[in-house]
Amino acid sequence: MNETVTLTNKDKFLSHFDLVDFSMDEDFSSDKRKEAMELIQWLDFPTSKAEYWKYTRINKIIKGDYKVSAPENEIEIDLAVPTKNCIVLINGYFSEELSFFDITEGIQFSSLSDAKKSSSILKEKFNSLVKKDEIFADINSAYHQDGAFMHVAKNVQADEPYYILNMVDDSNIISNPRNFIFVEQGANAKVVLKTINTANTGSFTNMVSEIFVEKNAHFEINKIQDEAEDSFQIATEQVVQADDSTFKINTFTLNGAIVRNNLNIDSLGKNTMTYLNGLYPLKGKQHVDNHTYLLHREPNGESHELYKGIMGDSSTGVFNGKVFVHREAQKTNAFQSNANIVMTDTATINSKPELEIYADDVKCSHGSTTGQLDEEALFYLRARGLSKESARAVLVNAFASDVIEQIGVDAVKDEIEKYIDDNYQGIK
Amino acid sequence: MQTEDELIEEITNSEYKYGFYTDMDADQAPKGLSEDIIRFISAKKNEPDWMLEYRLNAYRIWEKMEEPEWAHLGYAKPDFQDLHYYSAPKPKVQLDSLDEVDPELLETFKKLGISIEEQERLTGVAVDVVIDSVSVATSFKKKLGELGIIFCSFSEAVQDHPELVRKYLGTVVPTTDNFYATLNSAVFTDGSFCYIPKGKKCPMELSTYFRINEANTGQFERTLVIADEGSYVSYLEGCTAPMRDENQLHAAVVELVALDDAEIKYSTIQNWYPGSKEGKGGIYNFVTKRGLCMDRAKISWTQVETGSAVTWKYPGCILKGNNSIGEFYSVAVTSNHQQADTGSKMIHIGKNTKSTIISKGISAGQAQNSYRGLVKINKGATNARNFTQCDSLLMGNNCGAHTFPYIEVNNQSSKVEHEATTSKIGEDQIFYCKQRGMDETTAINLIVNGYCKEVLNQLPMEFAVEAQKLLEISLEGSVG
């Protein structure tokens, strides 16, 4: 009985894509889609009994009634992004009208569908990193409409940040944006990946990004999730790092009813540097689940992970970070930290920082704290004439600043700072 | 001067010092598990009907349960139909003095280094010796009796104090709790029972020595400690087991009840046979230990785990009463092919509850050592406080150390801190010691002792000495 019910759920969910036309797709990509569809047949949606999804109920997501819609009308919107290169996706489809490019030698930045026609690296590597047993990632592989493609050639230094804007402008939209980023040896680039939801109701964004950071390359991605209040997002990043490379990701989850981040990093090279940062200031009934998995496979790697959460109202925060140190990965230094402030009695935080270590000559640590704003610090500020509300705002700002300081793109830094200022001014 | 390799060789070669086997006639149940076997055990122990019902109920639940697989462990699952569920030394006659105790048994104790006379005379520790599930010797009973303290084997308690057993049995670890606890509820043969009346402080450390003796005998101990309002007891549990080639199963349940203002200190040294160097044999240790704290009560678990091939153990506290305190101090040493998945659970329900978890793991050889813990702060547990520290020390590059903490906080006034580190012994530390004339082995022992000090300090004196000895044996000539 139970089984039939779940099957129906999956079938019903997949039926949203029945009318989507993928006939224009390139052959190699069609093959990948077929492979993924094949896999989906054998998979089921995870329940809270699955360890990996223990704290996140996805019923609301999978039972939603969605539509797939390519935008037709002209959209009047001032994006005001401080960059010369911006890809705009609307409801999962590439918007030629809103996107703009400043052609730079050595950097290929285009929609995924355009790249499928020409890029050999895409043909070679596409869908090679995605985990086969993750149903949401497979759904993306099978049914993605479009996405962003970036290829930075050897030793090219991109000064400007590249923007990928992922917009939803209608209700009940389901979209599967798919991004592919390849940073060649010695190159350096920064990307801002932002989700904006201008409509209000019940959309679901199921995004997958594949990121390759080659030897001695440096790559930073700033991910801003500003979903609508009752929209859902599952974002999966699959990253591989080669020798001597640096990878940094800053995740800011600002809005969304249920947001789940699956961040998987395979540090396959020696001497890699990895920074994972996250900030989740939550309100209302938000539920944000950050899962990170960092694998150190080769020696001399270093990683720093810092996730901070502010749980307000009836929100729920989840942090599950895992650092895996392979037997060969001697001299690994891995540091993981998760700090949370719980503002109300109805808010919840579930934190699960994990270490799995098979090499002995390592320095690994993790810490997790949950608490309140420091009473003594509040007193100190109030003794100097600040109101209770502003004193609290100052402390929240200070709490968030550790993560904000990690941002390498000034415009994003300003944006997040402003967000914290606006939302935590005069908090009680 | 020993090289590192020689040291590895030495530690992995050090034989299990307590591996011997006492030749005694045992009164055994046939192999296998069924309702009939349970009726047999119950009849053999002359139990009242309610006890039999309790067992049968547990068995029926157990039949429908599946063996858990979530732990970070790999082992051949025991065949539950290939075990003896009851084995007892010959029916005991009432003894007037130690002379009447089976000389072979006394010999066993001597080898263990716990001669009863010595303990009685020198340390003032009352020992309730359990060999293969049935109590053989109980001492200091009278002295305790004067204070109204009941300290006896579990089966005696079922006969003599049924009202207490019925009231508290299964209240902390319910029959349905988990696969092994349920199995234990169905087939437990004996164990210890302790009751401290209101306002009494137990004047001596109570201790029980467990041994697994008969080949192919699953051991299912059941311990129930009740500290009534305002009372205090310190309870010691120590284990050594003889060398056996087949894996032996041990699934004990320990329930502690600390009523208002009571305090229970429960210390364990576990040194069961860890299996051979090649990972053959050894004890499977699947234990459920839990304590319940009422208002202002305190339960403190201290454990030093050096034995067993596979350990699966999470002593925990349910902090139900306001202002109650739970503590957990642990040293877990794994070497060769040993595997341990251990940690603590602290469930905060009452207001102003506090808990501390200090866990020190040491992993050598091919061993895998995991810390798995849960700190759960319920919504009503305002101003709750937890501090968790779990450190892992790795020796050699074939072993693993893992940390899986679960932290769940549901209110705004609680503070929860967790920190964990994993590293090896610093070369600079060894260098410093060597430079001052110590050899490498002494240096490592010194460093390991320092590393475990926070936990060893929690043990009662006699136990601390034994624990230190054990650590030295386990890490004899250890690796840097």
pLDDT one-digit tens code per residue, A259-288: 999 999 998 889 999 999 999 999 999 999
d(CA B152, CA B192): 6
Q: Do B407 and A361 touch (CB under 8 A)?
A: no
pLDDT of B385 > 90? The answer is: yes
- The SS3 assignment for A389 reads helix
What pLDDT was estimated at residue B122? 37
Position A25 in a domain: yes
From B396, which residue of chain A is nearest by alpha-carbon distance? A360
DSSP for residue B480: -
What pLDDT was estimated at residue A311? 92
The Cα of A208 is separated from the nearest Cα of chain B by a number of Å equal to: 27
Query: How many contacts does A have with B, using Cβ atoms within 8 A?
Result: 121
The Cα of A78 is separated from the nearest Cα of chain B by a number of Å equal to: 40
pLDDT of B103 > 70? The answer is: no
d(CA B156, CA B135): 9
Q: Do A369 and B418 touch (CB under 8 A)?
A: yes
What pLDDT was estimated at residue A163? 93
Of B88, B59, B92, B268, nearest to B182 (Cα)?
B59
Name which of A97-101, B54-58, B165-169, B218-222 the model is least confident about. Answer: B218-222
- At B32-58, the pLDDT tens digits run 788 888 888 888 888 888 999 999 999
Phi then psi for residue A418, to 5 deg, are -65, -40
pLDDT of A156 > 90? The answer is: yes
Which residues of B lie closer than 8 Å to A, measured between beta carbons?
70, 72, 379, 382, 392, 394-424
Question: Which chain A residues are within 8 Å of B398, Cβ to Cβ?
Answer: 327
From B379, which residue of chain A is nearest by alpha-carbon distance? A345
On whether both A254 and A391 belong to a single domain, the answer is no
Q: Do B394 and A357 touch (CB under 8 A)?
A: yes
On whether both A191 and A73 belong to a single domain, the answer is yes
Provide the β-strand partners of residue A35.
none
What pLDDT was estimated at residue B134? 47
Average pLDDT rounded to a whole number, residues A289-297? 94
Position A212 in a domain: yes
Q: Do A369 and B70 touch (CB under 8 A)?
A: no
Residues A139 and A62 sit within 8 Å (Cβ to Cβ)? no
> Which residue's entry shows tokens 């479009």?
A146
Of A349, A365, A371, the CB nearest to B420: A365
Of A154, A166, A68, A158, nearest to A112 (Cα)?
A166
The domain boundary, picked from A213, A245, A268, lies at A268
Percent of chain A with pLDDT over 90: 55
Could you tell me the maximum CA-CA distance found in chain B, to the nearest angstrom?
Answer: 69
Position A362 in a domain: no
More confident call, B141 vs A116 = A116
The confidence band for B241, taking pLDDT boundaries of 50, 70 and 90, is low
pLDDT of B439 > 80? The answer is: yes
When the pLDDT of each residue in chain B is averaged and rounded to a whole number, the result is 79
Q: Do B406 and A345 touch (CB under 8 A)?
A: no
Average pLDDT rounded to a whole number, residues A176-182? 94
More confident call, B26 vs A414 = A414
Here the ipTM equals 0.80
The count of structural domains within chain A is 2
Q: Do A327 and B414 touch (CB under 8 A)?
A: no
Distance of CA A82 to the CA centre of its chain: 21
Tokens representing B109 are: 């104790």
Of A360, A371, A372, the CB nearest to B395: A360
Name which of A353-357, B92-96, B404-408 the model is least confident about. Answer: B92-96
Q: Rounded to the nearest 10 degrees, how much is the dihedral formed by the CA atoms of B448, B449, B450, B454?
A: 110
Of A345, A351, A358, the CB nearest to B400: A358
Average pLDDT rounded to a whole number, residues B315-342? 91
Domain membership of residue A399 as a residue range: 375-428
From B411, which residue of chain A is nearest by alpha-carbon distance? A345
More confident call, B480 vs A25 = A25
Position A128 in a domain: yes
Q: Do B397 and A356 touch (CB under 8 A)?
A: no
Average pLDDT rounded to a whole number, residues B102-106? 57
d(CA B39, CA B45): 10
pLDDT of B358 > 50? The answer is: yes
Question: Which chain B residues are within 8 Å of A339, Cβ to Cβ?
Answer: none
What b/e readout covers B135-144, taking b as 16+ CB neighbours within 10 angstroms? bbbbbbeeeb
Which DSSP string corresponds to B364-387?
ETT-EEEEEEEEEE-TT-TT-EEE
What pLDDT was estimated at residue A2? 47
Average pLDDT rounded to a whole number, residues A344-353? 92
Which residues of A lie closer than 8 Å to B, measured between beta carbons?
51, 327, 330, 340, 342-372
Tokens representing A159 are: 């000064």
pLDDT of B183 > 80? The answer is: yes
Q: Do B417 and A362 touch (CB under 8 A)?
A: no
Q: Which residues contact B465 (CB under 8 A, 6 or more apart)?
A: none
Q: Do A343 and B412 touch (CB under 8 A)?
A: yes
d(CA A65, CA A267): 39
Question: Which chain A residues are within 8 Å of B413, Cβ to Cβ?
Answer: 345, 372
Q: Where are the beta strands (DSSP E) in A20-172?
A: 86-90, 93-94, 107-111, 148-152, 162-168
Where does residue A390 rank: exposed (0-12), middle (13-18), buried (19+ CB within 10 A)? middle
Position A331 in a domain: no
Cα–Cα distances in Å, from A272 out to A331, B318, B472? 12, 44, 39
- At A70-98, the pLDDT tens digits run 776 666 666 777 888 899 998 888 988 88
From B395, which residue of chain A is nearest by alpha-carbon distance? A360
Question: Which chain A residues are within 8 Å of B392, Cβ to Cβ?
Answer: 355, 357
From A54, which residue of chain B is nearest by alpha-carbon distance? B406
Q: Do A360 and B405 touch (CB under 8 A)?
A: no
From B407, which residue of chain A is nearest by alpha-carbon distance? A351
The confidence band for B120, taking pLDDT boundaries of 50, 70 and 90, is very low
What pLDDT was estimated at residue A83? 84
- The SS3 assignment for A324 reads strand
Tokens representing B113 are: 């280094």
On whether both A258 and A394 belong to a single domain, the answer is no
Q: Do A352 and B379 touch (CB under 8 A)?
A: no
Q: Do B408 and A330 touch (CB under 8 A)?
A: no
pLDDT of B170 > 60? The answer is: yes
Of B415, B416, B421, the CB nearest to A364: B421
The confidence band for B216, taking pLDDT boundaries of 50, 70 and 90, is very low
The domain boundary, picked from A234, A268, A302, lies at A268
Of A266, A312, A322, A248, nearest to A290 (Cα)?
A322
Q: Do A350 and B395 touch (CB under 8 A)?
A: no
pLDDT of A125 > 80? The answer is: yes
The confidence band for B118, taking pLDDT boundaries of 50, 70 and 90, is very low
Percent of chain A with pLDDT over 70: 96
On whether both A84 and A210 belong to a single domain, the answer is yes
pLDDT of A246 > 60? The answer is: yes
Q: Do B418 and A343 touch (CB under 8 A)?
A: no
On whether both A32 and A171 belong to a single domain, the answer is yes
The Cα of B116 is separated from the nearest Cα of chain A by a number of Å equal to: 43
Q: Do A369 and B403 touch (CB under 8 A)?
A: no
Name which of A90-104, A215-229, B368-382 the model is least confident about. Answer: A90-104
The domain boundary, picked from A243, A268, A293, lies at A268
What pLDDT was estimated at residue B108? 52
- Type of residue found at A174: I
Q: Do A360 and B379 touch (CB under 8 A)?
A: no
From B383, which residue of chain A is nearest by alpha-carbon distance? A371
Cα–Cα distances in Å, from A210 out to A195, A319, B240, B366? 17, 22, 54, 36
Position A417 in a domain: yes
The Cα of B54 is separated from the nearest Cα of chain A by a number of Å equal to: 29
Position A158 in a domain: yes
On whether both A399 and A258 belong to a single domain, the answer is no
Position A177 in a domain: yes
Length of chain A: 428
Q: Do A354 and B405 touch (CB under 8 A)?
A: yes
